[in-house]
Amino acid sequence: MQAIKETHFQFPGQTAFYKGKVRDVYTIANNLLVMVVSDRISAFDVVLPEAIPYKGQVLNQIASKFLKATEDILPNWVIASPDPMVTIGKMCIPFKVEMVIRGYLAGHAWREYAAGKRSVCGVALPEGLKENDKLPEPIITPTTKAAVGHDEDISRENILTQGIVSEADYSQLEAYTRSLYQRGTEMAKERGLILVDTKYEFGKDADGVITLIDEIHTPDSSRYFYADGYAERQASNEPQRQLSKEFVRKWLIENGFQGKEGQQVPHMSAEWVTAISERYIELFEQITGDTFQRYEGADVSGRIVDNIKTCLAQLSA
């Protein structure tokens, strides 16, 4: 399988191009977005040097499933998914915050807590918690949406006082975030999983309607634990079995990299790249309950272009 590290396409009516950490986004006629989910992988807000085969397909197809399953909660940006690695949708003006919600003390929040902090993004945390403990109730810990570099923690109070989001809109974003997390939690439970934490991005469409954008509930934006044995592992202070890319972050930390200045990304061997790819496929099947279909072929880029052009022609007809 040819991993897609980057794309440089040109489509009829193309008016802009944006390269994110993982996604290449093409703007068509200033009203449609073509999002190609590449096989790039990022950690600590740094794009790692090696692309991971099938990762883009995994992310795009998980997101498609969950966006469809939550469209009764609020509108989302999706119009079509013409290729396993592509979503086409309506252009929205994004809010400049990401809404992170946490039901358990894990990942970044745990690292902050272990460092002695008892408040994350202005939300107080009780004493006596262990890594991966369930929180008394889910907490929202937003981050600023950086164009480049690191996203930064920010409190609700600072978002409002800085005028990043209006109070009325932010209250709605919080409500949507809690509803989406509840739905994700219920769907995870059906698969024997716990949705530990996740993030959502929102924007406003051309009519000013708050809309869910980007992707949701994928292993790039979410952390899952296996429900079976969770309580026993917590009681015996054992690591949780989890489905997320935290295993990549831990490998990087163990090899002296956390995205800090002067640090070098450790060498990613072919065996390690294959192991990450297989882990992502495992994530897909466990999270969705579907069998992963490996789309083979040497000319993956050609397939993507053909599928996008066909869909755009149909949408403009």
CATH assignment at residue 302? 3.30.200.20
CATH assignment at residue 114? 3.30.470.20
Instruction: Extract the tokens encoding 190.
Output: 């059906």
Whether the CB-CB separation of 31 and 90 falls below 8 Å is answered with: yes
Domain limits for position 35: 14-92+268-316
Which phi-psi region, left, alpha or beta, contains residue 86 (left: φ > 0; alpha: ψ -120 to 50)? beta
- pLDDT recorded at residue 243: 83
Are 36 and 146 in a shared domain?
Answer: no
Cα separation values, 257 from 45, 223, 265, 276, Å: 12, 20, 6, 17
Cα separation of 130 and 110, whole Å?
A: 8
47 lies in some domain: yes
Are 283 and 175 in a shared domain?
Answer: no
Are 134 and 59 in a shared domain?
Answer: no
237 lies in some domain: yes
Cα separation of 183 and 169, whole Å?
A: 21
Going by C-alpha positions, the residue among 225, 260, 274, 265 that lies closest to residue 246 is 225
Instruction: Extract the tokens encoding 227.
Output: 């429900």
38 lies in some domain: yes
pLDDT tens by residue, 191-228: 999 999 999 999 999 999 999 999 999 988 899 999 99
Q: Which residues of the chain have pLDDT under 50?
A: none
Are 174 and 205 in a shared domain?
Answer: yes
- pLDDT recorded at residue 219: 83
Are 103 and 122 in a shared domain?
Answer: yes
Are 76 and 189 in a shared domain?
Answer: no
Whether the CB-CB separation of 283 and 144 falls below 8 Å is answered with: no
Whether the CB-CB separation of 184 and 191 falls below 8 Å is answered with: no
253 lies in some domain: no
103 lies in some domain: yes
Cα separation values, 181 from 32, 218, 250, 265, Å: 27, 13, 25, 33
- pLDDT recorded at residue 220: 82
- For the chain, the C-alpha Rg in angstroms (whole number) is 19
Are 70 and 118 in a shared domain?
Answer: no
Are 217 and 164 in a shared domain?
Answer: yes
Domain boundary among 243, 276, 301: 243
Whether the CB-CB separation of 63 and 217 falls below 8 Å is answered with: yes
Going by C-alpha positions, the residue among 42, 183, 208 that lies closest to residue 101 is 183
Overall domain count for the chain: 2
Domain boundary among 191, 226, 243: 243
Cα separation values, 179 from 45, 128, 133, 184, 185, Å: 27, 28, 22, 9, 10
Q: Which residues, in sequence order, are bridge partners of residue 86?
A: 36, 83
9 lies in some domain: no
250 lies in some domain: no
Instruction: Extract the tokens encoding 274.
Output: 């294959």
Are 20 and 118 in a shared domain?
Answer: no
Residue with token string 């944006």? 18
Are 181 and 159 in a shared domain?
Answer: yes
5 lies in some domain: no
Instruction: Extract the tokens encoding 237.
Output: 């202070």
Are 104 and 220 in a shared domain?
Answer: yes
Are 45 and 75 in a shared domain?
Answer: yes
Which residues have CB under 8 Å from 308's CB, separation 6+? 9, 11, 34, 36, 82, 83, 86, 88
pLDDT tens by residue, 47-82: 999 999 999 999 999 999 999 999 999 999 999 999
- pLDDT recorded at residue 103: 98
